[in-house]
Amino acid sequence: MTYAEFGRRPRENQSNGTDHGTAKAQLFLGGRVKGGLYGLPPALGPLDGNGNPPFAADFRDLYATVLERRWGVDPAGVLGGRFRPVDLIKA
């Protein structure tokens, strides 16, 4: 599972680049990963007040997936709440 603490904003800034943003793609790799795309495609039209696109999947659901299905750990004890694991890891 990849991790980055920030995404990118879709609009150019004044120096023709893009600023740090909030939503991003997350990659899962390995033999037990069920291939495919999960979640909705990025929505680039409805940006928030800071210019960030909405996220389609809560990163805590993805963490809960690895904690529960790969490491056998109760996600609630680590994440401080209940989150829905995503069915992307084979048993």
Where in the sequence is the domain holding 35, given as residue range(s)? 7-79
Domain assignment present for residue 73? The answer is yes
3-class secondary-structure state, position 12:
strand
pLDDT of residue 58: 87
Domain assignment present for residue 17? The answer is yes
Domain assignment present for residue 29? The answer is yes
Q: How many distinct structural domains can be found in the chain?
A: 1
Domain assignment present for residue 36? The answer is yes
Mean pLDDT of 33-40: 88
Closest by CA to 21, choosing from 49, 47, 52, 45, is: 52
CB atoms within 10 A of CB 67: 20
Closest by CA to 44, choosing from 55, 57, 53, 31, is: 53
Percent of the chain residues past pLDDT 90, beyond the cut: 47
Euclidean distance between CA atoms 49 and 70, whole angstroms: 37
CB atoms within 10 A of CB 11: 12
Domain assignment present for residue 30? The answer is yes
